[in-house]
Amino acid sequence: MSNSKYLWWNGSQMPWEDATIHVTDIGWSTVGAIFEGIRAYWNEDDQEAYVFRLPEHMKRFEQSMKLVRLEQEYSTEMLTETILELIRANEHREDIYIRPLAYRAGGAGGGFSSFSSKAGILIDTSPRPTHLKTGKKQDACVSSWTRISDNVMPPRVKNISNYRNGQLATMEANINGYDVPLLLNDQRKIAEGPGACVMMVRDGKLITPGVTDSILESITRDAILQIARDDLGLVVEERPIDRTEMYIADEAFMCGTAAEITPVVSVDRYQLGDGNVGPITSQLEDIFLGVLRGTDSRHPDWRTPVGLKQLAKA
């Protein structure tokens, strides 16, 4: 994969090749690092890209930094503007992924205990086409690994260290022939996948674990609950989900910035519905893609225009 032309690092936009660190800096610097995964979607008719829920992502970035005790040297407003500038500089006229990362700066050594609160910040962007409506579907299993809980490593924020938990579960699932693991929390209820939340449909209701069930507080999850309730008129429930409820669900899907909506068609080889993408999942995918691209005018406050249209005119 070829990289974008520019990235932003510690206060300046620079050529991708120029942003280098010494090899001894890797290791402990990422233990307390946090990041955001954000997407922007290209609208051909508008000749514009729209960033999905940018203020919400940047608010979570700020909260994540606070939680891992990193000092915020740059304001959230400044970082938000920086992201839009970077996308314009890279002239991304396509669907993209945007990743701001805050890590513990201050050089090599020191281990994890002599921590400094000084943050290094990196923002990079890369092409990432949507897989919504492409027919992608997954076979899931219930993992033998337990999802981290709030007094172990806070699951609600995107801390790099948290992903070791999801990585172990994914490796196990893949070796055993499944696409994606579902992790149970320490209450032995369904929490989420390794990098995405999970929802199921039972008797026409959309059901997903609550924000205190050891899940990441997903912005996509929140958007889909709103779409289901307001645009589709569905009953939505946020509540603990038993493992065996997943087995008899009519439909299920993963959701998140990376996962978007990814249909799950079996859990532990129990087929859900007829084994195809279910009707409610399919409807949600339709509306969600339209809202993301701005071809559907609903939820305009979720779309931040990048300013590529003006750039083309100038």
Ligand X SMILES: *Cc1c(COP(=O)(O)O)cnc(C)c1O
- Near ligand X by CB under 6 A: residue from 34, 196, 200, 252: 196
- Total number of residues shown for the chain: 314
**Which of 59, 66, 136, 158 is an active site residue?**
158
209 lies in the binding site for ligand X (CB under 6 A): no
Q: How far does CA 311 lie from the centroid of its chain?
A: 28
Residues 114-173 that bind ligand X (CB under 6 A): 158
Stretch that binds ligand X, among 8-16, 198-206, 211-219, 273-281 (CB under 6 A): 211-219
Would you call 309 a catalytic residue per the annotation?
A: no
Stretch that binds ligand X, among 9-17, 77-85, 177-185, 216-224 (CB under 6 A): 216-224
- Considering the complex, state which of residue 157 and residue 265 has its C-beta at the smaller distance from ligand X: 157
- Near ligand X by CB under 6 A: residue from 80, 170, 214, 220: 220
100 lies in the binding site for ligand X (CB under 6 A): no
- Considering the complex, state which of residue 6 and residue 183 has its C-beta at the smaller distance from ligand X: 183
197 lies in the binding site for ligand X (CB under 6 A): yes
- Considering the complex, state which of residue 208 and residue 218 has its C-beta at the smaller distance from ligand X: 218
214 lies in the binding site for ligand X (CB under 6 A): no
Question: Residue 284, SS3?
Answer: helix
- Considering the complex, state which of residue 216 and residue 277 has its C-beta at the smaller distance from ligand X: 216
* Residues at the interface with ligand X (CB under 6 A): 37, 158, 192, 195-197, 216, 218-221, 256-257
Kindly list the catalytic residues: 158
